Structure 1
Amino acid sequence: MNYQYLLFEQKDDALIITLNRPEALNAINTHLMKELNRFFNRDIENHRIKGIIIQGAGEKAFAAGADIKEFEGLSAAEAEIMSTYGQETYFAIEQCKIPVIAVIKGFALGGGCELAMACPLRVGGPKARFGQPEVNLGLPPGYGATQRLVQLIGRSKALEMLLTTDMVDVTEAHRLGLVNYIANENEELSLALKIVEKLATKSPIGIQKVIECVNAFSDKEKDGYYVEAAAFGVCAGTEDFKEGALAFVEKRKPIFNGK
Protein backbone atom coordinates (compact mmCIF):
# COMPACT_ATOMS: atom_id res chain seq x y z
CA MET A 1 0.00 0.00 0.00
CA ASN A 2 1.32 3.42 -0.94
CA TYR A 3 0.23 5.89 1.74
CA GLN A 4 1.80 9.20 2.71
CA TYR A 5 -0.11 10.15 5.86
CA LEU A 6 -1.08 6.76 7.29
CA LEU A 7 1.33 4.25 8.81
CA PHE A 8 0.38 0.58 9.13
CA GLU A 9 1.63 -2.09 11.51
CA GLN A 10 0.11 -5.50 12.15
CA LYS A 11 0.43 -7.09 15.59
CA ASP A 12 -1.15 -10.53 15.78
CA ASP A 13 -4.85 -10.02 15.00
CA ALA A 14 -4.71 -6.21 15.16
CA LEU A 15 -3.89 -3.69 12.46
CA ILE A 16 -2.57 -0.43 13.91
CA ILE A 17 -3.15 2.66 11.76
CA THR A 18 -1.25 5.80 12.76
CA LEU A 19 -2.30 9.25 11.57
CA ASN A 20 1.13 10.57 10.64
CA ARG A 21 1.13 14.36 10.62
CA PRO A 22 2.68 15.07 14.04
CA GLU A 23 4.04 18.44 12.91
CA ALA A 24 0.41 19.55 12.38
CA LEU A 25 -0.96 17.69 15.43
CA ASN A 26 -2.31 15.12 12.96
CA ALA A 27 -4.79 17.60 11.53
CA ILE A 28 -6.93 15.84 8.94
CA ASN A 29 -6.22 17.45 5.59
CA THR A 30 -7.74 16.43 2.27
CA HIS A 31 -4.97 13.94 1.50
CA LEU A 32 -5.23 12.19 4.87
CA MET A 33 -9.02 11.98 4.53
CA LYS A 34 -8.65 10.45 1.05
CA GLU A 35 -6.25 7.86 2.42
CA LEU A 36 -8.69 6.92 5.19
CA ASN A 37 -11.45 6.65 2.61
CA ARG A 38 -9.32 4.50 0.32
CA PHE A 39 -8.33 2.11 3.07
CA PHE A 40 -11.76 1.56 4.60
CA ASN A 41 -13.55 1.34 1.25
CA ARG A 42 -10.97 -0.74 -0.63
CA ASP A 43 -7.63 -1.80 0.82
CA ILE A 44 -9.06 -3.23 4.03
CA GLU A 45 -9.96 -6.34 2.05
CA ASN A 46 -6.24 -7.15 1.77
CA HIS A 47 -5.93 -7.79 5.52
CA ARG A 48 -6.83 -10.82 7.65
CA ILE A 49 -7.41 -9.16 11.01
CA LYS A 50 -9.87 -9.15 13.90
CA GLY A 51 -9.55 -5.52 14.98
CA ILE A 52 -8.29 -2.15 13.78
CA ILE A 53 -6.70 0.47 16.02
CA ILE A 54 -6.42 4.12 14.97
CA GLN A 55 -3.98 6.36 16.84
CA GLY A 56 -2.22 9.67 16.26
CA ALA A 57 1.54 10.07 15.89
CA GLY A 58 3.21 11.71 18.87
CA GLU A 59 1.92 12.42 22.34
CA LYS A 60 0.17 15.77 21.86
CA ALA A 61 -2.82 14.86 19.75
CA PHE A 62 -4.93 12.09 18.30
CA ALA A 63 -6.03 14.62 15.70
CA ALA A 64 -6.48 18.34 16.22
CA GLY A 65 -9.33 18.69 13.74
CA ALA A 66 -9.42 19.50 10.07
CA ASP A 67 -6.66 21.50 8.39
CA ILE A 68 -8.06 25.04 8.59
CA LYS A 69 -5.67 26.25 5.89
CA GLU A 70 -7.70 24.28 3.35
CA PHE A 71 -10.87 26.22 4.22
CA GLU A 72 -9.58 29.47 2.74
CA GLY A 73 -11.33 30.42 -0.47
CA LEU A 74 -13.80 27.54 -0.42
CA SER A 75 -17.14 28.24 -2.04
CA ALA A 76 -20.34 27.06 -0.35
CA ALA A 77 -20.61 24.21 -2.85
CA GLU A 78 -16.99 23.14 -2.33
CA ALA A 79 -17.41 23.21 1.45
CA GLU A 80 -20.49 21.01 1.21
CA ILE A 81 -18.61 18.53 -0.98
CA MET A 82 -15.76 18.44 1.57
CA SER A 83 -18.22 17.81 4.40
CA THR A 84 -20.06 15.09 2.49
CA TYR A 85 -16.82 13.30 1.60
CA GLY A 86 -15.68 13.37 5.23
CA GLN A 87 -19.04 12.03 6.39
CA GLU A 88 -18.87 9.21 3.83
CA THR A 89 -15.37 8.33 5.04
CA TYR A 90 -16.42 8.23 8.68
CA PHE A 91 -19.51 6.17 7.78
CA ALA A 92 -17.16 3.58 6.27
CA ILE A 93 -15.27 3.43 9.57
CA GLU A 94 -18.45 3.26 11.64
CA GLN A 95 -19.92 0.51 9.47
CA CYS A 96 -16.70 -1.48 9.08
CA LYS A 97 -17.35 -5.19 9.68
CA ILE A 98 -14.09 -5.32 11.64
CA PRO A 99 -14.30 -3.37 14.94
CA VAL A 100 -12.30 -0.13 14.96
CA ILE A 101 -10.83 1.22 18.20
CA ALA A 102 -9.64 4.82 18.57
CA VAL A 103 -6.68 5.32 20.90
CA ILE A 104 -6.65 8.94 22.06
CA LYS A 105 -3.63 10.63 23.59
CA GLY A 106 -3.83 14.39 23.91
CA PHE A 107 -6.28 16.41 21.85
CA ALA A 108 -9.17 15.02 19.81
CA LEU A 109 -10.77 18.17 18.45
CA GLY A 110 -13.18 18.95 15.64
CA GLY A 111 -12.74 16.42 12.85
CA GLY A 112 -10.43 14.46 15.15
CA CYS A 113 -13.12 14.07 17.78
CA GLU A 114 -15.55 13.17 15.01
CA LEU A 115 -13.15 10.48 13.78
CA ALA A 116 -12.93 9.03 17.29
CA MET A 117 -16.73 9.02 17.59
CA ALA A 118 -17.02 7.12 14.30
CA CYS A 119 -15.01 4.28 15.86
CA PRO A 120 -17.19 1.77 17.76
CA LEU A 121 -14.82 1.78 20.75
CA ARG A 122 -12.57 4.48 22.23
CA VAL A 123 -9.62 4.25 24.62
CA GLY A 124 -8.49 7.49 26.25
CA GLY A 125 -5.23 8.25 27.96
CA PRO A 126 -5.00 10.49 31.06
CA LYS A 127 -4.16 13.55 28.94
CA ALA A 128 -6.93 13.05 26.37
CA ARG A 129 -9.10 16.09 25.71
CA PHE A 130 -12.22 16.22 23.55
CA GLY A 131 -13.94 19.18 21.94
CA GLN A 132 -15.82 20.59 18.96
CA PRO A 133 -14.56 24.16 18.43
CA GLU A 134 -16.06 24.75 14.97
CA VAL A 135 -18.56 27.41 16.05
CA ASN A 136 -15.58 29.61 16.96
CA LEU A 137 -14.94 29.77 13.21
CA GLY A 138 -18.58 30.50 12.43
CA LEU A 139 -19.29 26.93 11.34
CA PRO A 140 -21.12 23.87 12.62
CA PRO A 141 -19.16 20.62 12.63
CA GLY A 142 -18.94 19.03 9.20
CA TYR A 143 -18.10 15.37 9.77
CA GLY A 144 -21.01 14.14 11.86
CA ALA A 145 -20.58 15.56 15.38
CA THR A 146 -24.08 17.05 15.52
CA GLN A 147 -25.44 13.54 15.09
CA ARG A 148 -22.98 11.15 16.77
CA LEU A 149 -22.33 13.35 19.80
CA VAL A 150 -26.07 13.45 20.52
CA GLN A 151 -26.26 9.65 20.21
CA LEU A 152 -23.31 9.13 22.54
CA ILE A 153 -23.85 11.67 25.32
CA GLY A 154 -27.40 12.99 24.86
CA ARG A 155 -28.88 16.13 23.32
CA SER A 156 -28.41 18.52 26.23
CA LYS A 157 -24.74 17.77 26.90
CA ALA A 158 -23.99 17.61 23.17
CA LEU A 159 -25.44 21.08 22.68
CA GLU A 160 -23.39 22.34 25.62
CA MET A 161 -20.15 21.07 24.06
CA LEU A 162 -21.06 22.28 20.57
CA LEU A 163 -22.27 25.75 21.58
CA THR A 164 -19.74 26.65 24.28
CA THR A 165 -16.85 24.79 22.57
CA ASP A 166 -15.64 23.79 26.04
CA MET A 167 -13.35 20.75 26.07
CA VAL A 168 -13.89 17.77 28.36
CA ASP A 169 -11.12 15.74 29.93
CA VAL A 170 -10.95 11.96 29.77
CA THR A 171 -12.64 11.45 33.15
CA GLU A 172 -15.66 13.50 32.12
CA ALA A 173 -15.64 11.92 28.66
CA HIS A 174 -15.79 8.48 30.27
CA ARG A 175 -18.61 9.54 32.59
CA LEU A 176 -20.59 10.86 29.63
CA GLY A 177 -20.01 7.79 27.46
CA LEU A 178 -17.72 9.50 24.97
CA VAL A 179 -14.89 7.16 26.01
CA ASN A 180 -15.25 3.45 26.76
CA TYR A 181 -11.95 2.89 28.57
CA ILE A 182 -9.41 5.01 30.45
CA ALA A 183 -5.85 3.73 30.21
CA ASN A 184 -2.80 4.64 32.24
CA GLU A 185 -0.24 6.86 30.54
CA ASN A 186 1.78 4.97 27.91
CA GLU A 187 -0.55 1.98 28.23
CA GLU A 188 -3.25 3.19 25.83
CA LEU A 189 -2.14 1.07 22.88
CA SER A 190 -1.53 -2.05 24.97
CA LEU A 191 -5.06 -1.80 26.35
CA ALA A 192 -6.47 -1.51 22.83
CA LEU A 193 -4.47 -4.57 21.78
CA LYS A 194 -5.94 -6.51 24.72
CA ILE A 195 -9.42 -5.52 23.55
CA VAL A 196 -8.64 -6.84 20.05
CA GLU A 197 -7.30 -10.02 21.64
CA LYS A 198 -10.67 -10.47 23.36
CA LEU A 199 -12.61 -9.68 20.17
CA ALA A 200 -10.54 -12.29 18.31
CA THR A 201 -12.15 -15.01 20.46
CA LYS A 202 -15.64 -14.06 19.26
CA SER A 203 -17.47 -15.05 16.09
CA PRO A 204 -16.52 -12.66 13.24
CA ILE A 205 -20.00 -13.07 11.79
CA GLY A 206 -21.63 -12.34 15.13
CA ILE A 207 -19.51 -9.22 15.59
CA GLN A 208 -20.27 -8.02 12.07
CA LYS A 209 -24.01 -8.44 12.60
CA VAL A 210 -23.96 -6.68 15.98
CA ILE A 211 -22.30 -3.64 14.36
CA GLU A 212 -24.84 -3.75 11.53
CA CYS A 213 -27.79 -3.92 13.93
CA VAL A 214 -26.57 -1.12 16.19
CA ASN A 215 -25.93 1.13 13.18
CA ALA A 216 -29.51 0.52 12.04
CA PHE A 217 -30.68 2.40 15.15
CA SER A 218 -29.58 5.72 13.66
CA ASP A 219 -30.54 4.87 10.06
CA LYS A 220 -33.96 6.42 9.45
CA GLU A 221 -34.46 4.24 6.37
CA LYS A 222 -34.16 0.99 8.35
CA ASP A 223 -36.23 -0.72 11.01
CA GLY A 224 -33.65 -1.72 13.60
CA TYR A 225 -35.83 -4.50 15.00
CA TYR A 226 -36.26 -6.01 11.54
CA VAL A 227 -32.51 -5.78 10.91
CA GLU A 228 -31.86 -7.51 14.24
CA ALA A 229 -34.34 -10.32 13.54
CA ALA A 230 -32.88 -10.88 10.07
CA ALA A 231 -29.34 -10.94 11.46
CA PHE A 232 -30.42 -13.39 14.18
CA GLY A 233 -31.81 -15.68 11.50
CA VAL A 234 -28.71 -15.48 9.33
CA CYS A 235 -26.37 -16.24 12.21
CA ALA A 236 -28.51 -19.15 13.41
CA GLY A 237 -27.63 -20.96 10.19
CA THR A 238 -23.87 -20.52 10.45
CA GLU A 239 -21.11 -22.92 11.44
CA ASP A 240 -20.08 -20.39 14.08
CA PHE A 241 -23.44 -20.69 15.84
CA LYS A 242 -23.26 -24.47 15.80
CA GLU A 243 -19.74 -24.32 17.26
CA GLY A 244 -20.76 -21.75 19.88
CA ALA A 245 -23.76 -23.81 21.01
CA LEU A 246 -21.75 -27.04 21.09
CA ALA A 247 -18.92 -25.41 23.03
CA PHE A 248 -21.43 -24.10 25.56
CA VAL A 249 -22.87 -27.58 26.10
CA GLU A 250 -19.40 -29.12 26.30
CA LYS A 251 -18.22 -26.38 28.66
CA ARG A 252 -15.24 -25.34 26.57
CA LYS A 253 -14.14 -22.26 24.68
CA PRO A 254 -15.49 -22.10 21.12
CA ILE A 255 -13.22 -22.02 18.10
CA PHE A 256 -14.90 -19.88 15.45
CA ASN A 257 -13.99 -19.97 11.76
CA GLY A 258 -16.11 -17.07 10.54
CA LYS A 259 -18.43 -19.27 8.49
Structure 2
Amino acid sequence: MEASAPARPSAQDSGPLVTYELRGAVAWIALNRPNKRNAINDALLDALGAAITRAGAEARAVVLHGEGPCFSAGLDLAEHRARSAEEVFHHSRGWHAVFALIRRGRIPVVAALHGATVGGGLELAAACQLRVADDTTFFALPEGQRGIYVGGGASVHVARLLGASRMADMMLTGRVLDAAAAERAGLANYLVPAGTAPARAGELAEKMAGMAPLTVLGVLHALPRIQDMSEEDGLFVESLVAALAQTGPEAAARLADFVEKRGAKVAGPGT
Protein backbone atom coordinates (compact mmCIF):
# COMPACT_ATOMS: atom_id res chain seq x y z
CA MET A 1 0.00 0.00 0.00
CA GLU A 2 1.51 3.30 -1.07
CA ALA A 3 1.13 6.42 1.05
CA SER A 4 -1.64 8.62 -0.29
CA ALA A 5 -2.44 12.28 0.22
CA PRO A 6 -3.51 13.18 3.78
CA ALA A 7 -6.90 11.61 4.35
CA ARG A 8 -9.95 13.51 5.45
CA PRO A 9 -11.13 12.83 8.99
CA SER A 10 -14.30 10.87 9.59
CA ALA A 11 -17.43 12.50 10.92
CA GLN A 12 -16.32 11.65 14.46
CA ASP A 13 -12.99 13.47 14.05
CA SER A 14 -12.23 17.17 13.87
CA GLY A 15 -9.20 18.54 12.07
CA PRO A 16 -6.49 16.56 10.27
CA LEU A 17 -5.80 13.05 11.49
CA VAL A 18 -2.06 13.70 11.32
CA THR A 19 -0.42 17.10 11.71
CA TYR A 20 2.91 18.14 10.23
CA GLU A 21 5.27 20.97 11.16
CA LEU A 22 8.78 21.57 9.87
CA ARG A 23 11.04 23.13 12.50
CA GLY A 24 14.38 23.76 10.88
CA ALA A 25 15.70 20.37 9.77
CA VAL A 26 13.27 18.37 11.95
CA ALA A 27 9.74 17.40 10.94
CA TRP A 28 7.26 17.15 13.82
CA ILE A 29 4.49 14.67 13.04
CA ALA A 30 1.59 14.11 15.43
CA LEU A 31 -1.21 11.56 15.55
CA ASN A 32 -4.24 13.79 15.98
CA ARG A 33 -7.29 11.76 17.09
CA PRO A 34 -7.18 12.67 20.79
CA ASN A 35 -10.87 11.91 21.31
CA LYS A 36 -10.19 8.38 20.02
CA ARG A 37 -6.91 7.96 21.94
CA ASN A 38 -5.15 8.18 18.56
CA ALA A 39 -6.59 4.84 17.51
CA ILE A 40 -5.26 3.92 14.09
CA ASN A 41 -7.77 3.50 11.30
CA ASP A 42 -7.07 3.25 7.58
CA ALA A 43 -7.43 7.00 7.02
CA LEU A 44 -4.96 7.85 9.77
CA LEU A 45 -2.54 5.23 8.42
CA ASP A 46 -2.68 6.78 4.95
CA ALA A 47 -2.15 10.27 6.37
CA LEU A 48 0.82 9.05 8.41
CA GLY A 49 2.39 7.50 5.33
CA ALA A 50 2.01 10.76 3.42
CA ALA A 51 3.57 12.75 6.27
CA ILE A 52 6.56 10.39 6.56
CA THR A 53 7.09 10.56 2.80
CA ARG A 54 7.00 14.36 2.90
CA ALA A 55 9.47 14.45 5.77
CA GLY A 56 11.90 12.27 3.83
CA ALA A 57 11.94 14.85 1.06
CA GLU A 58 12.47 17.99 3.15
CA ALA A 59 13.76 17.13 6.66
CA ARG A 60 16.78 15.42 8.22
CA ALA A 61 14.99 13.80 11.16
CA VAL A 62 11.46 13.29 12.54
CA VAL A 63 9.78 13.50 15.94
CA LEU A 64 6.61 11.41 16.01
CA HIS A 65 4.22 11.96 18.92
CA GLY A 66 0.55 11.78 19.85
CA GLU A 67 -1.88 14.53 20.78
CA GLY A 68 -4.17 14.13 23.78
CA PRO A 69 -4.01 11.54 26.56
CA CYS A 70 -1.69 9.00 24.93
CA PHE A 71 0.59 8.10 22.05
CA SER A 72 -1.78 5.53 20.54
CA ALA A 73 -4.24 2.95 21.81
CA GLY A 74 -3.68 0.86 18.67
CA LEU A 75 -6.06 -0.47 16.05
CA ASP A 76 -9.40 1.33 15.94
CA LEU A 77 -11.59 -1.60 16.97
CA ALA A 78 -14.71 0.58 16.69
CA GLU A 79 -14.15 0.63 12.94
CA HIS A 80 -12.98 -2.94 12.78
CA ARG A 81 -15.26 -5.11 10.72
CA ALA A 82 -15.50 -8.77 9.87
CA ARG A 83 -12.95 -9.57 7.19
CA SER A 84 -12.09 -12.69 5.28
CA ALA A 85 -8.68 -14.26 5.83
CA GLU A 86 -7.52 -12.75 2.55
CA GLU A 87 -8.73 -9.29 3.56
CA VAL A 88 -7.02 -9.52 6.95
CA PHE A 89 -3.80 -10.55 5.21
CA HIS A 90 -3.81 -7.55 2.89
CA HIS A 91 -4.88 -5.18 5.69
CA SER A 92 -1.89 -6.33 7.76
CA ARG A 93 0.43 -5.93 4.78
CA GLY A 94 -0.83 -2.37 4.37
CA TRP A 95 0.31 -1.58 7.92
CA HIS A 96 3.68 -3.18 7.15
CA ALA A 97 4.08 -1.00 4.06
CA VAL A 98 3.44 2.26 5.90
CA PHE A 99 5.64 1.35 8.85
CA ALA A 100 8.38 0.36 6.38
CA LEU A 101 8.45 4.01 5.27
CA ILE A 102 9.77 4.71 8.77
CA ARG A 103 12.11 1.75 9.14
CA ARG A 104 13.55 1.96 5.62
CA GLY A 105 13.27 5.68 5.05
CA ARG A 106 15.98 8.24 4.39
CA ILE A 107 15.91 9.87 7.82
CA PRO A 108 15.68 8.69 11.45
CA VAL A 109 12.43 8.89 13.41
CA VAL A 110 12.25 9.40 17.18
CA ALA A 111 8.98 8.45 18.89
CA ALA A 112 7.98 10.59 21.88
CA LEU A 113 5.70 8.39 23.98
CA HIS A 114 3.25 9.06 26.78
CA GLY A 115 0.24 7.24 28.16
CA ALA A 116 -1.10 4.20 26.32
CA THR A 117 1.31 2.80 23.74
CA VAL A 118 -0.45 -0.47 23.07
CA GLY A 119 -1.26 -2.87 20.25
CA GLY A 120 -0.79 -1.12 16.93
CA GLY A 121 0.54 1.92 18.79
CA LEU A 122 3.37 -0.18 20.17
CA GLU A 123 4.00 -1.60 16.70
CA LEU A 124 4.26 1.94 15.34
CA ALA A 125 6.67 2.95 18.11
CA ALA A 126 8.77 -0.16 17.43
CA ALA A 127 9.11 0.88 13.79
CA CYS A 128 10.89 4.07 14.86
CA GLN A 129 14.64 4.15 15.32
CA LEU A 130 14.48 5.53 18.89
CA ARG A 131 11.78 5.68 21.57
CA VAL A 132 11.62 8.27 24.36
CA ALA A 133 9.05 7.31 27.00
CA ASP A 134 7.87 9.54 29.81
CA ASP A 135 6.85 8.23 33.23
CA THR A 136 3.19 7.92 32.24
CA THR A 137 3.84 5.55 29.34
CA PHE A 138 2.66 1.96 29.47
CA PHE A 139 3.03 -0.79 26.90
CA ALA A 140 0.81 -3.77 26.09
CA LEU A 141 -0.13 -6.20 23.33
CA PRO A 142 -3.80 -6.92 24.11
CA GLU A 143 -4.46 -8.76 20.84
CA GLY A 144 -3.97 -12.12 22.51
CA GLN A 145 -6.69 -11.38 25.07
CA ARG A 146 -9.07 -10.32 22.27
CA GLY A 147 -8.74 -13.51 20.28
CA ILE A 148 -6.69 -11.99 17.48
CA TYR A 149 -3.02 -11.78 16.55
CA VAL A 150 -0.70 -8.84 15.98
CA GLY A 151 -0.59 -7.62 12.39
CA GLY A 152 1.49 -4.45 12.32
CA GLY A 153 4.93 -6.02 12.55
CA ALA A 154 5.21 -6.87 16.26
CA SER A 155 6.21 -10.48 15.63
CA VAL A 156 9.42 -9.19 14.09
CA HIS A 157 10.12 -5.74 15.49
CA VAL A 158 8.73 -5.82 19.03
CA ALA A 159 10.13 -9.34 19.48
CA ARG A 160 13.56 -8.15 18.39
CA LEU A 161 13.49 -5.34 20.94
CA LEU A 162 12.10 -7.35 23.84
CA GLY A 163 12.95 -10.92 22.93
CA ALA A 164 10.35 -13.47 21.87
CA SER A 165 9.84 -14.75 25.43
CA ARG A 166 8.88 -11.33 26.82
CA MET A 167 6.57 -10.68 23.88
CA ALA A 168 4.93 -14.07 24.38
CA ASP A 169 4.39 -13.18 28.04
CA MET A 170 2.64 -9.94 27.06
CA MET A 171 0.38 -11.67 24.53
CA LEU A 172 -0.43 -14.79 26.53
CA THR A 173 -1.04 -13.15 29.91
CA GLY A 174 -1.97 -9.57 29.01
CA ARG A 175 1.02 -8.28 30.95
CA VAL A 176 1.43 -4.48 30.87
CA LEU A 177 4.88 -2.91 31.12
CA ASP A 178 5.32 0.49 32.72
CA ALA A 179 7.92 2.87 31.36
CA ALA A 180 10.65 1.79 33.76
CA ALA A 181 10.16 -1.90 33.00
CA ALA A 182 10.12 -1.14 29.27
CA GLU A 183 13.42 0.70 29.53
CA ARG A 184 14.99 -2.21 31.42
CA ALA A 185 13.74 -4.61 28.76
CA GLY A 186 15.14 -2.51 25.93
CA LEU A 187 11.81 -1.33 24.54
CA ALA A 188 12.38 2.33 25.48
CA ASN A 189 15.74 3.97 24.78
CA TYR A 190 15.17 6.92 27.11
CA LEU A 191 13.02 7.36 30.22
CA VAL A 192 12.10 10.96 31.11
CA PRO A 193 9.74 12.77 33.51
CA ALA A 194 6.08 13.11 32.58
CA GLY A 195 5.41 15.66 29.89
CA THR A 196 9.01 15.97 28.71
CA ALA A 197 9.24 13.27 26.04
CA PRO A 198 8.69 15.63 23.07
CA ALA A 199 11.39 18.02 24.27
CA ARG A 200 13.91 15.21 24.74
CA ALA A 201 12.94 13.65 21.42
CA GLY A 202 13.43 17.03 19.78
CA GLU A 203 16.94 17.33 21.22
CA LEU A 204 17.85 13.89 19.89
CA ALA A 205 16.35 14.62 16.48
CA GLU A 206 18.30 17.87 16.22
CA LYS A 207 21.50 15.99 16.98
CA MET A 208 20.74 13.33 14.36
CA ALA A 209 19.81 15.99 11.80
CA GLY A 210 23.38 17.23 11.98
CA MET A 211 24.95 13.85 11.21
CA ALA A 212 26.74 13.07 7.96
CA PRO A 213 24.20 11.60 5.49
CA LEU A 214 26.37 8.58 4.61
CA THR A 215 26.68 7.67 8.29
CA VAL A 216 22.90 7.92 8.67
CA LEU A 217 22.46 5.74 5.59
CA GLY A 218 24.66 3.07 7.15
CA VAL A 219 22.82 3.13 10.47
CA LEU A 220 19.34 3.10 8.93
CA HIS A 221 19.90 0.64 6.10
CA ALA A 222 22.99 -1.48 6.75
CA LEU A 223 22.74 -2.04 10.51
CA PRO A 224 19.24 -3.65 10.51
CA ARG A 225 20.18 -5.91 7.60
CA ILE A 226 23.44 -6.98 9.21
CA GLN A 227 21.41 -8.40 12.10
CA ASP A 228 19.89 -10.91 9.67
CA MET A 229 23.23 -11.94 8.12
CA SER A 230 25.81 -14.51 9.01
CA GLU A 231 28.80 -13.20 10.93
CA GLU A 232 31.09 -13.13 7.89
CA ASP A 233 28.48 -11.51 5.64
CA GLY A 234 27.73 -8.90 8.29
CA LEU A 235 31.39 -8.02 8.73
CA PHE A 236 31.82 -7.76 4.96
CA VAL A 237 28.90 -5.32 4.68
CA GLU A 238 30.25 -3.35 7.63
CA SER A 239 33.55 -2.89 5.80
CA LEU A 240 31.76 -1.74 2.65
CA VAL A 241 29.71 0.85 4.57
CA ALA A 242 32.83 2.01 6.44
CA ALA A 243 34.62 2.53 3.13
CA LEU A 244 31.66 4.47 1.76
CA ALA A 245 31.20 6.69 4.81
CA GLN A 246 34.85 7.36 5.62
CA THR A 247 35.68 8.48 2.10
CA GLY A 248 32.69 10.83 1.87
CA PRO A 249 33.18 14.61 1.76
CA GLU A 250 31.82 15.28 5.24
CA ALA A 251 34.03 12.66 6.88
CA ALA A 252 37.25 14.37 5.83
CA ALA A 253 36.15 17.73 7.22
CA ARG A 254 34.89 16.31 10.51
CA LEU A 255 37.97 14.16 11.08
CA ALA A 256 40.19 17.15 10.37
CA ASP A 257 38.26 19.19 12.93
CA PHE A 258 38.89 16.51 15.54
CA VAL A 259 42.59 16.08 14.75
CA GLU A 260 43.12 19.84 14.85
CA LYS A 261 41.21 20.05 18.16
CA ARG A 262 38.25 21.98 16.73
CA GLY A 263 35.82 19.13 17.29
CA ALA A 264 34.25 18.16 20.60
CA LYS A 265 35.65 15.17 22.47
CA VAL A 266 33.49 12.45 23.95
CA ALA A 267 32.46 13.38 27.49
CA GLY A 268 31.00 11.24 30.23
CA PRO A 269 27.23 10.98 30.84
CA GLY A 270 25.77 14.13 32.37
CA THR A 271 28.83 16.25 31.59
Q: Please report the TM-score for the alignment, with normalisation by the length of structure 2.
A: 0.86
Alignment equivalent of 2:234, drawn from 197, 204, 224: 224
Find the aligned partners of 2:203 and 2:49 in 1 and give their Cα distance.
Answer: 26
Report matched runs for 1:106-255 at 5 Å: 106-219=115-228, 223-253=233-263
Deviation string 1:80-121 (CA, Å, 9 cap, x unpaired) is 101011011112211222110111110011000000010010
**Corresponding letter in the other structure for 1:226:** F
Corresponding residue for residue 5 of structure 1: 17
Q: CA deviation at 1:220?
A: 6.4
Match of residue 71, structure 1, among 73, 80, 87? 80
Distance 1:54 1:212 in 2: 20
Aligned partners of 1:100 and 1:121 also within 8 Å: yes
**Given the alignment of the two structures, is residue 43 of structure 1 paired with residue 54 of structure 2, yes or no?**
yes
Confirm or deny: 8 A CA contact 1:95 1:215 kept in the other structure.
Answer: no
Among candidates 22, 25, 30, match of residue 18 of structure 1: 30
Give me the whole-angstrom Cα distance separating, in 2, the residues matched to 1:22 and 1:212: 33
Structure 1 alignment gaps of length 5 or more:
255-259
SS at match of 1:28: coil
> Larger deviation: 187-196 or 31-40?
31-40
Unaligned runs of 5+ in 2: 8-15, 265-271
* Aligned twin of 2:62: 52
Q: What is the one-letter code of the residue matched to 1:182? A: L
User: Judging changes above 3 Å, is the alpha-carbon distance between structure 1 residues 220 and 86 closer, same or farther for their aligned structure 2 residues?
Assistant: farther
Q: 2:203, 2:164 → 1: CA distance? A: 32
CA–CA distance in 2 between the matches of 1:68 and 1:220? 37
Aligned to 1:257: none
TM-score with structure 1 setting the length: 0.90
Cα deviation, residue 177, structure 1: 0.6
Aligned residues: 251
